[in-house]
Structure 1
């Protein structure tokens, strides 16, 4: 939720954008309806329901969300509107009851005050007393349909399919091979030996997969026979396709097997198509696969853990000539989206299953799985995975790229120096290897963080001589530190990639204009000056305006793309 200070800062931003651009999962702006008090209060009730179902948030009343300019956008809330009345209305007209907190923020515009409603997350679904309701999804309040209510049930753990009992403990339902594979995978991840040495039934009981003498579906998923899986978890299966084109496949395998056996078999199927590159570093030779094993393992575990077992359809592994796709039925939950998945609080579709895998160290409760996938790819100089929600499914896509041995060695050396590079740093460095520069907004989008957090990160990277910055305010930009670019790329273009200092740029442009004038040649187009300085079109316009004001001898002739800047020698 946003504090009063946060809201004050956001109101200042209205000079440059509309309120709708500032809205997010936990923030909304609403204009107060002055035509009808009852309608305005009802809107407050509806927004309280929407926000609490969506995980809580802040609603700022008294701001038009489609108007640019603070003075025009901030209209305020009538002074006669009593916050205690609003609080009672929300409490009385919601089920279960919601108790928001209202705060007044005094402003110089409009009525002189806006109202801030802070809505804490509850135990959804919440509705109004007539049974209607919405839920916050991104920037919108979406109807609380039957599908949405089921999704909320999943997110709150009330409908954990894997926790349902299937009958009394029956050891014949368990596969000894699956149990052995489970222990092998867990040992590789350094799970407690004391846990793994326990007999099969005791191990499953300790993991919480046997409850009151009843075996759960989660136990069958981890260690069940094929027969048991088909009977008790019919939604669990997987398909591997080695695609020769978008419509033709070579190798295909369809199976129903316990999760540890499934992961092992899919990894085996990938081996012939996941070639090794050997990198020589001094006396040592290091081997790297096209798709790092740790990234593939994490993607597979995520797919099986978050599979919606109520929807018919397999975990699908498609290996194309240039990419690997791993997908599962069941879209994102709990507000997770493609643009926030790196740092979002983790949420489990199948909590009991995930809890058992956490105890075995096969998955991580702190959302490290996604970071590990990103890190494994980025540190080898490859693109990070693309994680997309497609309808009611999620796909993880790895593009095939060659290892960047120079970058991989740099990452290793930095680690040896005690400067291990995190996912955010790797993302920014990889971007700057492909682009001459980036602004803070672009960097924030890459890292899926706020601009304030990103500026702090970039400042720290500047101290480590990874990046340097130029410009100021909204014109600030970041580029790779020249010595680091030379080390990682060595293409001789270090200086060409850098912008010229503002005053130096004026001197250089002015010199070229004078030289062309003396030779009777045409002046410079905006595009030519952009090429010389690496400035944007608008920055070039500002630069040339300053030159015109300072010298009185620079003028622009023509219009549009054909216009040029010329040097006009003084007639005196």
Structure 2
């Protein structure tokens, strides 16, 4: 949910961008339709259902989303509109019942009044009273199709394919799969009293055979390949050693239970996973191209979060310079590649995942993705890339050189009681290849809100001493990696000098262009033009132009709106 203050700060940006550009999964802007109150109520019901199915969020009423400029965009909500009436209308026309909260935001434009409709969705899926519904995906409302409803039910625990009864008897359990399960759990220090149970008692204790009947989850964890094939059509895995995008040199397929499949897949991947040996003091440490911890987490995620109703295998493609792990079924609920790093867990197969949690093979707090990221980042390597490709999820590991200086630094910090978390590692890795970072970039990189990203940057500056702050403060602040730390971590050149040269070159180029355009009687340059010319981001361009205007009075600041331009006006010229 966005607070009134959060929205107030966003409204200040309407002179530069349309409200549509500010929208997000949990934020929508709506113009108030004063021509028909009944049509507006219908719109509110639809958007409340959409937002609730998307996980909840804030709808700002009274703002046109395709207009630049505060005065033009903020139209407001009529003062006679009663929010209690709106709540009753939405409540009466949704199923399950929705009761959004409304907050008022006073503004100087339009009617002087905006409404924030705060929507929560703990009982998804929702529809209107006629059974119609939609779901918010990114910034739009998409139809609530059958598969979308199924995913919502799975995310809420109301539907679980893995909990369905299997057509199997206790003789369909595989002793070798059960032993592989015990070995894996013992390596993770699962409770010994659990692991010493008989096969049947272990399945019972894990909750995989309610009323004495085996479930799909029981077979996936401990069934024979034949029993799994009878019950889970299309289940299996494929590993390919790829020569290029279309040809492979070696292939293996399997249909064993998950713990055996995990062992076989790990063995095949590790056969082509080179080792780098690093000496630290009297010891030699070995580091793989793909960290084994990250491999295990990615493969387990693929195996336990696959959509086994789609009849498609888990596919692992091992290229010369990358590894791709794909599982059938998109991300569940409102999880996206842009929020997966810190999103609360939403298992597709709750019964299966719950059994793995008891065995300590997966973590209930959704730490698997963070562990994957951290395993790569600690070795100075880029983190995995996670993306949805149609109806599947793919995790990509890049084969990258191990960084001894970075790993040594991380180890020394840990020994000093200053463990690096994933957010800090992401910031450090970014600053080894970029001269600076601002709050919005850190928020996107760490998949955090700007407030938390700013806290991370501040702590890395004031508590850890890794960073130095620049800029005018507030939104104009940026951070750079301390020069000595940049050298220690294996960075090349002087980052401060590189940044100064880059900014000075950009200033020189912009001034030259503006002067040339003024001499030819041509228009000036917009902020968008400047970003394209300099390859700087929005905040960097704003800061750069502020410095230029301070040094060159002939440079005129732009007005408001997307087309507003910076212009060069020669001394003595009247406007």
Shorter-chain TM-score range: 0.7 to 0.9
User: Secondary structure of 2:317's match?
Assistant: strand
The answer to whether residue 287 in structure 2 is matched with residue 283 in structure 1 is no
Tell me the CA shift for residue 538 of structure 1: 6.4
The answer to whether residue 318 in structure 2 is matched with residue 319 in structure 1 is yes
User: For residue 445 of structure 2, what is the aligned residue in structure 1?
Assistant: 446
The answer to whether residue 459 in structure 2 is matched with residue 460 in structure 1 is yes
Alignment of 1:510-549 (within 5 A): 542-549=546-553
Give per-residue Cα distances to partners, 1:354-399, cap 9 Å, x unaligned.
0000111111111100001000011101110000100000000001
Provide the C-alpha distance between the structure 1 equivalents of 2:345 and 2:491, rounded to a whole number of angstroms.
41
Tell me the CA shift for residue 537 of structure 1: 6.6
User: Secondary structure of 1:261's match?
Assistant: helix
Contact 1:486 1:494 in 2 (8 A): no
Identify the range of structure 1 (327-336 vs 98-107) with the bigger mean alpha-carbon deviation: 98-107
User: For residue 81 of structure 2, what is the aligned residue in structure 1?
Assistant: 81
Give per-residue Cα distances to partners, 1:232-260, cap 9 Å, x unaligned.
12232000111112222122111100000
Alignment of 1:364-403 (within 5 A): 364-403=363-402
Contact 1:379 1:426 in 2 (8 A): yes
The answer to whether residue 499 in structure 2 is matched with residue 477 in structure 1 is no
Contact 2:307 2:348 in 1 (8 A): yes
Alignment of 1:255-404 (within 5 A): 255-404=254-403
Change (3 A) 1:136 1:488: same
Provide the C-alpha distance between the structure 1 equivalents of 2:430 and 2:496, rounded to a whole number of angstroms.
18
User: Secondary structure of 2:141's match?
Assistant: strand
User: For residue 103 of structure 1, what is the aligned residue in structure 2?
Assistant: 103
User: For residue 158 of structure 1, what is the aligned residue in structure 2?
Assistant: 158
User: For residue 497 of structure 1, what is the aligned residue in structure 2?
Assistant: 498
Tell me the CA shift for residue 18 of structure 1: 2.5
Provide the C-alpha distance between the structure 1 equivalents of 2:166 and 2:548, rounded to a whole number of angstroms.
77
Contact 2:151 2:348 in 1 (8 A): no
User: Secondary structure of 2:345's match?
Assistant: coil
Tell me the CA shift for residue 153 of structure 1: 2.1
User: Secondary structure of 1:431's match?
Assistant: helix
Provide the C-alpha distance between the structure 2 equivalents of 1:495 and 1:438, rounded to a whole number of angstroms.
13
Change (3 A) 1:84 1:539: closer
Contact 2:469 2:479 in 1 (8 A): yes
Provide the C-alpha distance between the structure 2 equivalents of 1:492 and 1:216, rounded to a whole number of angstroms.
60
Tell me the CA shift for residue 22 of structure 1: 2.1
Change (3 A) 1:36 1:460: same
Change (3 A) 1:257 1:490: closer
Identify the range of structure 1 (216-225 vs 54-63) with the bigger mean alpha-carbon deviation: 54-63
Ranked by relative contact order (alpha carbons within 8 Å, sequence separation 6 or more), the top structure is 2
Contact 1:299 1:373 in 2 (8 A): yes
Contact 1:373 1:385 in 2 (8 A): yes
User: For residue 137 of structure 2, what is the aligned residue in structure 1?
Assistant: 137
Normalized against structure 2, the TM-score is what?
A: 0.87
Provide the C-alpha distance between the structure 1 equivalents of 2:154 and 2:546, rounded to a whole number of angstroms.
55
Change (3 A) 1:157 1:468: same
Give per-residue Cα distances to partners, 1:83-141, cap 9 Å, x unaligned.
22212211222222222222333332211212222222142222212221111112111
Identify the range of structure 1 (121-130 vs 229-238) with the bigger mean alpha-carbon deviation: 121-130
Tell me the CA shift for residue 495 of structure 1: 5.0
Tell me the CA shift for residue 55 of structure 1: 1.7
Contact 2:435 2:495 in 1 (8 A): no
Tell me the CA shift for residue 2 of structure 1: 2.3
Give per-residue Cα distances to partners, 1:174-213, cap 9 Å, x unaligned.
1111111001101111111111111111111111101011
Identify the range of structure 1 (429-438 vs 77-86) with the bigger mean alpha-carbon deviation: 77-86
Tell me the CA shift for residue 276 of structure 1: 1.1
Provide the C-alpha distance between the structure 1 equivalents of 2:80 and 2:236, rounded to a whole number of angstroms.
61
Cα RMSD (Å) of the superposition?
2.8
Provide the C-alpha distance between the structure 1 equivalents of 2:73 and 2:430, rounded to a whole number of angstroms.
37
Give unpaired runs (5+ residues) of structure 1: 510-525, 551-562, 567-572
Give per-residue Cα distances to partners, 1:428-482, cap 9 Å, x unaligned.
1111111222222222111111222111100100121211121124442221111
Identify the range of structure 1 (44-53 vs 2-11) with the bigger mean alpha-carbon deviation: 2-11
User: For residue 53 of structure 2, what is the aligned residue in structure 1?
Assistant: 53
Provide the C-alpha distance between the structure 2 equivalents of 1:481 and 1:320, rounded to a whole number of angstroms.
37
The answer to whether residue 436 in structure 2 is matched with residue 437 in structure 1 is yes
Give per-residue Cα distances to partners, 1:324-360, cap 9 Å, x unaligned.
1100000011111111110111110000000000111
User: For residue 42 of structure 1, what is the aligned residue in structure 2?
Assistant: 42
Structure whose CA Rg is larger:
1
Change (3 A) 1:248 1:81: same
User: For residue 516 of structure 1, what is the aligned residue in structure 2?
Assistant: none
Give unpaired runs (5+ residues) of structure 2: 509-529, 555-566, 571-575
User: Secondary structure of 2:486's match?
Assistant: helix
Provide the C-alpha distance between the structure 2 equivalents of 1:492 and 1:124, rounded to a whole number of angstroms.
53
Contact 1:237 1:313 in 2 (8 A): yes
Normalized against structure 1, the TM-score is what?
A: 0.87
User: Secondary structure of 1:499's match?
Assistant: helix
Change (3 A) 1:254 1:75: same
Change (3 A) 1:208 1:538: closer
User: For residue 488 of structure 2, what is the aligned residue in structure 1?
Assistant: 487
Change (3 A) 1:167 1:228: closer
Provide the C-alpha distance between the structure 1 equivalents of 2:111 and 2:491, rounded to a whole number of angstroms.
61
Identify the range of structure 1 (23-32 vs 97-106) with the bigger mean alpha-carbon deviation: 97-106
